[in-house]
Structure 1
């Protein structure tokens, strides 16, 4: 009696581990579509190898002291405490980056879309010319860009803007555009806006070209009379995927500003007026070789991008888009 075996049905019920319904349906779906996942496997492998693992390693390294020459040493949250409590330069760089992103991000985004929309309204044979004209600054090298803008904002009387302002009598003496702490950030914003017609601009053009023409005809029947009404009620709802893509790119570009700051005002800039989070990261990673501290900066920047992009997805990534 004591050695009586548990009935098989009862034993199976006790030993069976019930998976949540969500996971059960997931594994069933994977099994049914296993051929598709076989084709996805190479991408998933390399995405994990070159994206997920490096991000996870960076997060782990941000909790350590690592100077390349010695093995990483775990120090907990000391890097983050130092960043926000003792590193005044980082706080200045964070403030500069936010100011830069808040101004250049929305303005550049709206300007890219409006210019793409205006180009889409002109005859097809002229669109290529205007597209090349507006897209060229985005693919111009940082060195060539710095030469042009350094000449425009040169602090002597031979600088183009100073020469013009003195000639019409607005300035009595040259203005040090790239040395004055009050004008460094506005100049960087102007240069960024000039270079903002990048991949997002091309995505807007492609999306606008694919809006069905019969929708405009239907809108005209329903009472749409003006181009701005077409833009608001027909065009924008149809190009929501491109708007989302362009917004994400604009956020990433605005928060990762580096080249124009270093090329125009140097590193460090006067009183850190043009110092950004990326220049601070570059300083600690490739000049001081404090990789643990640099990865902590990178994690903060990554968190900012993810948070802002999450907000953008909630606004532009709705099911109705």
Structure 2
């Protein structure tokens, strides 16, 4: 006696049902959606291919290499969790880099986020013909290379009498001898924070400005009828609720920017910095990847940084993305 297995389908369609659930499988729903919107997926194909080859595949490759010893000369050799054990148990510099990075992010993240939004809001209040000028002034530092910006900041914070801050402080009698801003371990992180905040008016700032300019004027007119008289009342009750998508987008970008501090630190205090006072996670990654060429260990650092970013972004979506 022979029997043939039959696949149950959704009545009126050829979609297979998931076993035991009575509902179409996710793969079947995806395939049907692709067939229904094949032209849209065709337009998306170039981006999806580039995103897969240059983002998805490198991520999984990095995860795989993090479980191996790979020095770019020999073939990768599987060593299990040894890289992660070394990171969190034996690598004191990495643990210090985590603390420095989080201290940096806890200041530059919220402060840079609020500063970008408030500057965008203030610019949106000026006449249209002047907005381009102010936007250019605040956005230019973010598109200027860290090398070019470091020339200016190195002149300001130079540790001799020719440094601009030391020169005026000595001239006004505030200090008696030049202060070593970029050599003193207590001032390295504050200097990096100041420079990073100056350069933080990036894509998030433009997103805030675009969102603020698209808030309907009818909402402000309705608010005026309902008794709103002051700009700060408009900001709290009308503007902020209207730009929640831009607020979410800006928060995600600010987290990524805060945790990826590297160029500013290296240009100002070098690698390694004095007593590793300006050593961040990304600096540690660069050290092992492109100076020591221990790519397996560097991949483990990259995976840890990726997981930290992913976790913080999930928290942001939970706080700001509920609506």
TM-score of the pair, normalised by structure 1: 0.93
Give 1:74's aligned residue.
Answer: 78
**Residue aligning to 1:59:** 63
Q: What's the counterpart of residue 159 of structure 2?
A: 155
Query: Structure 1 stretch 269-278 or stretch 30-39: which is displaced more?
Result: 30-39
Pair 1:198 & 2:213 matched: no
Q: Give the corresponding residue for 2:99.
A: 95
CA 1:145–1:14 in structure 2 vs 1: closer, same or farther (change >3 Å)?
closer
Moved more, 201-210 or 67-76: 201-210
How far residue 312 of structure 1 moved from its aligned partner, in angstroms, is: 0.9
Select the residue among 39, 43, 66 that pairs with 2:43: 39
**How far off is 1:269 after superposition?**
0.5
Q: Select 1:112's aligned residue among 103, 109, 116.
A: 116
Distance 1:38 1:129 in 2: 40
CA deviation after TM superposition for structure 1 residue 169, in Å = 1.9
Q: State the partner residue of 1:278.
A: 282
Match of 2:253 among 249, 261, 265: 249
TM-score (norm 2): 0.92
Q: Is the 8 A contact 2:8 2:17 kept in 1?
A: no
Give the match for residue 83 of structure 1: 87
5+ unaligned residues in a row in structure 1: which ranges?
A: none
CA contact (8 A) 2:157 2:181 kept: yes
1:307 aligns with 2:311: yes
User: 1:164 Cα deviation (Å)?
Assistant: 1.5
Q: Distance in 1 between matches of 2:242 and 2:270?
A: 43
SS of the equivalent of 2:71 reads: coil
Among 280, 298, 319, the alignment partner of 1:294 is 298
Deviations 1:68-109 (A, max 9, x none): 000000000000000000001111111110111110111011
Using the TM superposition, give the Cα deviation of residue 315 of structure 1 relative to its aligned residue in structure 2, in angstroms. 1.6
Mapped partners of 1:97, 1:156: distance in 2: 28
Residues 159 and 166 of structure 2 are in contact (CA less than 8 Å); yes or no, is this contact kept in structure 1? yes
Give the Cα separation in 1 of the matches to 2:161 and 2:192.
21
Q: How many residues align?
A: 312
Residue in 1 that maps onto 2:126: 122
Cα distance change on mapping 1:131 and 1:39 into 2, 3 Å: closer
Structure 1 residue 15, shift from structure 2 partner: 8.9
- Report the Cα distance in structure 2 between the residues aligned to 1:243 and 1:64, rounded to whole angstroms: 40
| Counterpart in the other structure of 2:192 | 188
Please name the residue that 2:220 is paired with: 216
Q: Is the 8 A contact 2:188 2:277 kept in 1?
A: yes
Give the unaligned 5+ runs of structure 2. 10-15
In 2: Cα distance, 1:176 partner to 1:54 partner: 41
Query: In structure 1, how many angstroms separate the alpha carbons of the residues matched to 2:200 and 2:117?
Result: 11
RMSD in angstroms over aligned alpha carbons? 1.7
Equivalent residue for 2:176, pick from 172, 178, 181: 172
- Paired with 2:271 and 2:297, the residues of 1 have a C-alpha distance of 18
Correspondence for 1:142 among 133, 141, 146: 146
